A and B are shown apart, each in its own frame.
Chain A
Amino acid sequence: MKKGKIIRTAGPLVVASDCLGAKMYDMVKIGDIGLIGEIIELKEDRAFIQVYEDTTGIGPGEPVELTGKPLSVELGPGLISSVFDGIQRPLDVIKEKEGDFITRGIDVPPLNREKKWDFKPFVKKGQKVEEGDFLGEIEETPLIKHKIMVPSGKNGTVIKIKKGKMLIEEVAAVIKSEEKEHEVRLFQVWSIRKNRLVKKREMPEIPLVTGQRVLDTLFPLAKGGTACIPGPFGSGKTVVQHQLAKWSDAQIIVFVACGERGNEVADLLLSFPKLKDPSTGRPLMERTIIIANTSNMPVAAREASIYTGMTIAEYFRDMGYSVALMADSSSRWAEALREISGRMEEMPGEEGYPAYLASRIAEFYERAGKVICLGSDNREGALSVIGAVSPPGGDLSDPVVQSTLKVVKVFWALDDKLANMRHFPAINWLNSYSLYAESIKDYWDKEIAEDFSEIRQEAMKLLEKESELQEIARLVGVESLSDQDRLVLESSKSIREDFLHQNAFHPQDTYTSLRKQYLMMRTIIHFHNSGLKALKEGINLEDILKLEIREKISKMKFLEEKGDDPDVLDLFIEINNVFKELLKKKG
């Protein structure tokens, strides 16, 4: 293999000479201990390399091995339930080999080479196949059937197909095209910086149900859509991300902990095997892949980690699954970019970030989408991406936030004022938006209830009105508002406290189905409208506010979910009765 020589080391950046023939983004091995790096710039025969491990002890004169291959991930059975670092090294294997602390120069294959998988073929000898077609499947976990697909560009005829238990490196099938024979193993290798191919992109129009009321009802994300959650520290970004990873109805979750806290990853690792998927009752870990590059792990690997996660997510999307990728936090990734760019002495853009920051962010989010996958069956797959952003001081003019907002369609604005009042999820209902609300409308009205979007609209209006009224109340006092307006204040307070506020740590409250969300919101709105009507009939506002049923409304969220939610339905009728009685009493 060709070798270069190090001429400079500065933190995560190494410069090597004698590298003619090396290509951009090729992977290299550095020094005598073989640290992994990637070429990010070429000047004459010199290569600038970002190193994915700590470079202490590396100096000029040491060799650089040019592998000639791009930095890639292995895609195949064994991915699910794994925890990888930023360049797809399995952390559990590292722990077994090296102990509790991560050392350098560890060379372990991403996927288990010794495990045997039971391969069930779908095709027969002599059958014609095209790229993306399923050759067969492996039941990787009870939740996930791992499809083995024809690699891209390998259209042809199956001339050999195996069956039964085998290792991932064994040849499962041979495909013949134009006199060439391609061996297909159970895993494929793909460069992390290259999008996986699809047949066609489509518009996302089915909601990704997360069980989080403020998200699902007010600011929904579509399957295949993109969202971002910016917010200052302590506003609950990570809790929201974790809730999404736990409850969203995607089939596969890829969680990228990018430059965040080690203890948070530990929390995921300890809680996911115990948590049950609400629809199947199986442990959540059986559909989850975690990429963990915590803040104290090497900075360059942090840069790679989101691409590693994305490529894995795309691979499962290609099987026709609905996949959700969470990146927490993209600001740390951008900072890694900035750090490397600074060491290369590039001309900085805003806030010291490199000038290509915006285009990198756009490229990343554009890898999400609802697609028609490769393959003759024209199956659909979706990849939704949710990125947390941590702007300095919570300042939304930060270049990472701004570049992200230009491309994502859903904006969940976290607000530290709400967090200080312990209103969680602290998502500001006035600033947030979702551009999918229109395209999802049909789904809601058809699948959940025909007046879903209408009721949602009414709730939004009430909240908007509340902020106007609060302004006035602040100037002239609540007393000077009309009874109607005061009822608006009370009802929107009820929306905020009884609907939007959601306790992630309460066993019932942590997840609410779309159907129950609708019923809850309908009940609140119904109470409001009944109240308005009663006011017109001359009933006192105080009498309406004193109604005991309001306490029941505030406890709706704690009711256990069952079937058609008769308890919440009953409330609706009860409201009618209560108001009838009020009128009767008045005579």
Chain B
Amino acid sequence: MHKEYLTVTNIVGPLVIVEKIVDVKYGELVEISSPGGQLRRGTVLDVSTERAVVQVFEGTTGLDIDKSSIRFLGGSQTLAVSEEIVGRIFDGSGNPKDGGPKIIAKKRRDINGSPINPQARDYPSEFIQTGISSIDGMNSLVRGQKLPIFSGSGLPHARIAAQIARQSKVLGKKEKFAVVFGAMGITFEEANFFIEDFRDTGALERSVIFLNLANEPTIERIATPRLALTCAEFLAFDLDMHVLVVLVDYTFYAEALREISAARKEIPGRRGYPGYLYTDLASMYERAGRIKEKPGSITYIPILTMPEDDKTHPIADLTGYITEGQIMLSRELHRKGIYPPIDVLPSLSRLKDKGIGEGKTREDHADVLNQLFACYASGKEARELALILGEAALSDMDKIYMEFAEKYEDEFVCQGEHESRSIADTLDIGWDLLRMVPKGELKRIRPEFLDKYYSLEK
């Protein structure tokens, strides 16, 4: 039996301080019972001989100094996993939310996981076709990659993430596939959109969902992504599945972390976020990947809304330093009515180079994408110039590029929410656009491909 302490001395924000404790460990799981008898969970953040600082997952509302009691459970927070977990919906602490029974544990896994030994990692190089041209063609996603979507409030990141989850496939293969979805602090409507979309497409049966909604305890959000990733690790590395993890919204997660840090009176880093935000985010993002000699993989799409669309905001900034690229959404494109409003210039996939080319997508892929980038960048520059000097001042080449940029946005980037383009289609659209530009200007494409594709008509 675990000892019960009634020695709570302070309650600050999400933290409870207990004194006169014996044999408590750092990171230990804690059970707190409120005066009303309701049970909550927490974890030890700091422990010394006299006292322990406990972070309460479900928040401290309703706790008091006098009657609240605390038990230290030994061991850290775990998630019960088994094959049965697929197709289920849980709350942000891992309890069933769909009315179903509790999962009978085949294994219990520490939700903090362990770092993958870099020596055991396999380099991700398998192209995933999402059916979205601006991703497949320009910033290709590969299995085992972590590629976040940098969005802003009001932008359709949810629809894009759902489309990726719906359409993703690896060319020429049929394998076990699962989606793990985690919601941190988003609204019921947004979460429901995902669930309904999964249900409509039959994806729900191969999904695991963890929900911490906006009105649910903030601190629970710290555990939600870790539960989702622990579940994903089990599916990928124990059951050999290819897992796509979608987590929204990391901005709320970081805010929860800031709340705890403030309550502990830690020295804040940039914009009040704790100095260890990078390490904390990395401990989650880095759980994506592939392991040598294991067939499964974790591909990870975290979504975050950048406050004021500012990509230098600490959350977006630190994420960009950890993840392997980013998909950047643009308010300007969204206003023009372009879906998906992906701004390809600041977007990037660091792992694309090993995932594309002959035998994976098509021989000309790398050259075409470099050329499209260069032409679109020149087009946007010309557009800016035209704004200042007027269109008349543009050279003939500039005019061609400006038209190219328009058409590129309308025909290449823009596509239907249920339209899934094959990579060959995507590249062909690219070539259609490149034909607007004189052959001599296409310096990024190797001559042999120019000869082969430039003169082809669709």
A binds B: yes
- The answer to whether A294 has its CB under 8 Å from any CB of chain B is yes
**Contact across chains for B286 and A477 when beta carbons are under 8 A apart:** no
**Contact across chains for A57 and B267 when beta carbons are under 8 A apart:** no
Give Cα distance in the complex from A351 to B289, angstroms.
Answer: 33
In the assembled complex, which residues on chain A have CB atoms less than 8 Å from the CB atom of B388?
474
Give Cα distance in the complex from A10 to B266, angstroms.
Answer: 12
If the complex has contacts A9-B26, A263-B324, are A335 and B275 also in contact, measured as CB distance less than 8 A? yes
Nearest residue, chain A, Cβ from B124: A263
If the complex has contacts A10-B46, A265-B121, are A233 and B321 also in contact, measured as CB distance less than 8 A? yes
**Contact across chains for A262 and B112 when beta carbons are under 8 A apart:** no
- The answer to whether A126 has its CB under 8 Å from any CB of chain B is no
Nearest residue, chain B, Cβ from A56: B27
Give Cα distance in the complex from A502 to B434, angstroms.
Answer: 22
How distant is A45 from chain B, measured CB to nearest CB, in Å?
14
Nearest residue, chain A, Cβ from B318: A392
If the complex has contacts A101-B117, A352-B267, A394-B312, are A59 and B23 also in contact, measured as CB distance less than 8 A? yes
- Encoded as 1 (CB less than 8 Å from any A CB) or 0, chain B from 112 to 148 comes to 1111111111111000000000000000000011000
From A161-169, A295-303, A456-464, give the one contacting chain B: A295-303
Give Cα distance in the complex from A392 to B269, angstroms.
Answer: 11
If the complex has contacts A101-B114, A263-B144, A335-B278, are A91 and B119 also in contact, measured as CB distance less than 8 A? yes
**Contact across chains for B118 and A7 when beta carbons are under 8 A apart:** no
- The answer to whether A100 has its CB under 8 Å from any CB of chain B is yes
How distant is B379 from chain A, measured CB to nearest CB, in Å?
11
Partner of A91, one of B117, B286, B322: B117
Give Cα distance in the complex from A61 to B47, angstroms.
Answer: 11
If the complex has contacts A56-B26, A551-B440, are A8 and B114 also in contact, measured as CB distance less than 8 A? no
- Encoded as 1 (CB less than 8 Å from any B CB) or 0, chain A from 192 to 226 comes to 00000000000000000000000000000000000
Most chain A beta-carbon contacts within 10 A, residue among B275, B286, B389: B275
If the complex has contacts A262-B121, A270-B123, A352-B275, are A390 and B115 also in contact, measured as CB distance less than 8 A? no
**Contact across chains for A259 and B282 when beta carbons are under 8 A apart:** yes
- Encoded as 1 (CB less than 8 Å from any A CB) or 0, chain B from 241 to 276 comes to 000000000000000000000000011111000011
**Contact across chains for B121 and A338 when beta carbons are under 8 A apart:** no
- The answer to whether A234 has its CB under 8 Å from any CB of chain B is yes
- Encoded as 1 (CB less than 8 Å from any A CB) or 0, chain B from 45 to 81 comes to 1111100000000000000000000000001100000
- The answer to whether B25 has its CB under 8 Å from any CB of chain A is yes
- The answer to whether B87 has its CB under 8 Å from any CB of chain A is no
In the assembled complex, which residues on chain B have CB atoms less than 8 Å from the CB atom of A466?
none
Nearest residue, chain B, Cβ from A347: B267
How distant is A32 from chain B, measured CB to nearest CB, in Å?
11
Nearest residue, chain B, Cβ from A345: B267
If the complex has contacts A55-B26, A342-B275, A505-B353, are A95 and B117 also in contact, measured as CB distance less than 8 A? yes
- Encoded as 1 (CB less than 8 Å from any B CB) or 0, chain A from 332 to 371 comes to 1001101100100000100110000000000000000000
**Contact across chains for B279 and A339 when beta carbons are under 8 A apart:** yes
**Contact across chains for B118 and A292 when beta carbons are under 8 A apart:** yes
Partner of A295, one of B279, B353, B354, B395: B279
- Encoded as 1 (CB less than 8 Å from any B CB) or 0, chain A from 259 to 288 comes to 101110111011000000000000000000
**Contact across chains for B116 and A100 when beta carbons are under 8 A apart:** yes
How distant is A311 from chain B, measured CB to nearest CB, in Å?
21
**Contact across chains for A57 and B25 when beta carbons are under 8 A apart:** yes
Nearest residue, chain A, Cβ from B264: A10
- The answer to whether B152 has its CB under 8 Å from any CB of chain A is no
In the assembled complex, which residues on chain A have CB atoms less than 8 Å from the CB atom of B270?
351, 392
Q: What number of A residues sit within 8 Å (CB to CB) of B? A: 71
How distant is A321 from chain B, measured CB to nearest CB, in Å?
26
- The answer to whether B320 has its CB under 8 Å from any CB of chain A is yes
- The answer to whether B351 has its CB under 8 Å from any CB of chain A is yes
If the complex has contacts A8-B48, A102-B117, A505-B353, are A296 and B374 also in contact, measured as CB distance less than 8 A? no
**Contact across chains for A261 and B317 when beta carbons are under 8 A apart:** no
In the assembled complex, which residues on chain A have CB atoms less than 8 Å from the CB atom of B25?
9, 56-59
Give Cα distance in the complex from A390 to B268, angstroms.
Answer: 19
**Contact across chains for B115 and A102 when beta carbons are under 8 A apart:** yes
If the complex has contacts A10-B26, A57-B27, A505-B353, are A296 and B115 also in contact, measured as CB distance less than 8 A? yes
How distant is A327 from chain B, measured CB to nearest CB, in Å?
15
Give Cα distance in the complex from A94 to B115, angstroms.
Answer: 12
- The answer to whether A488 has its CB under 8 Å from any CB of chain B is no
- The answer to whether B82 has its CB under 8 Å from any CB of chain A is no
In the assembled complex, which residues on chain B have CB atoms less than 8 Å from the CB atom of A339?
275-276, 279
Give Cα distance in the complex from A297 to B283, angstroms.
Answer: 8
How distant is B280 from chain A, measured CB to nearest CB, in Å?
10
Give Cα distance in the complex from A262 to B353, angstroms.
Answer: 17
Partner of B115, one of A101, A336, A421, A478: A101
**Contact across chains for B282 and A474 when beta carbons are under 8 A apart:** no
In the assembled complex, which residues on chain B have CB atoms less than 8 Å from the CB atom of A100?
116-117, 120, 237, 291-292, 294
Most chain A beta-carbon contacts within 10 A, residue among B144, B279, B322, B440: B279
If the complex has contacts A100-B116, A234-B326, are A263 and B374 also in contact, measured as CB distance less than 8 A? no
Nearest residue, chain A, Cβ from B312: A393
In the assembled complex, which residues on chain A have CB atoms less than 8 Å from the CB atom of B26?
9-11, 55-59
- The answer to whether B228 has its CB under 8 Å from any CB of chain A is no
Interface residue ranges of A495-509 to B (CB < 8 Å): 497, 505
Give Cα distance in the complex from A102 to B121, angstroms.
Answer: 12
- The answer to whether A422 has its CB under 8 Å from any CB of chain B is yes
- The answer to whether B209 has its CB under 8 Å from any CB of chain A is no
- The answer to whether A92 has its CB under 8 Å from any CB of chain B is yes
- The answer to whether B234 has its CB under 8 Å from any CB of chain A is no
In the assembled complex, which residues on chain A have CB atoms less than 8 Å from the CB atom of B124?
263
Give Cα distance in the complex from A233 to B320, angstroms.
Answer: 6
Interface residue ranges of A50-98 to B (CB < 8 Å): 54-61, 83, 91-92, 94-95, 98
In the assembled complex, which residues on chain A have CB atoms less than 8 Å from the CB atom of B275?
335, 338-339, 342, 352
**Contact across chains for B345 and A420 when beta carbons are under 8 A apart:** yes
- The answer to whether A139 has its CB under 8 Å from any CB of chain B is no
How distant is A395 from chain B, measured CB to nearest CB, in Å?
7
Give Cα distance in the complex from A61 to B52, angstroms.
Answer: 14
How distant is B317 from chain A, measured CB to nearest CB, in Å?
5
In the assembled complex, which residues on chain A have CB atoms less than 8 Å from the CB atom of B345?
420-421
**Contact across chains for B443 and A297 when beta carbons are under 8 A apart:** no
Interface residue ranges of A1-18 to B (CB < 8 Å): 7-11, 15
In the assembled complex, which residues on chain B have CB atoms less than 8 Å from the CB atom of A266?
118, 121-123, 289
Instruction: Pull 17 A–B residue pairs with CB atoms less than 8 Å apart, ordered by A.
Output: A59-B25, A60-B48, A61-B23, A83-B119, A94-B117, A101-B115, A234-B346, A262-B116, A295-B279, A296-B282, A296-B285, A332-B278, A352-B275, A393-B311, A394-B312, A416-B346, A477-B389
In the complex, given contacts A57-B75, A234-B325, A266-B122, what are 9 additional A-B residue pairs having Cβ atoms less than 8 angstroms apart?
Answer: A56-B25, A56-B26, A60-B48, A259-B282, A261-B324, A263-B351, A270-B123, A296-B286, A296-B287
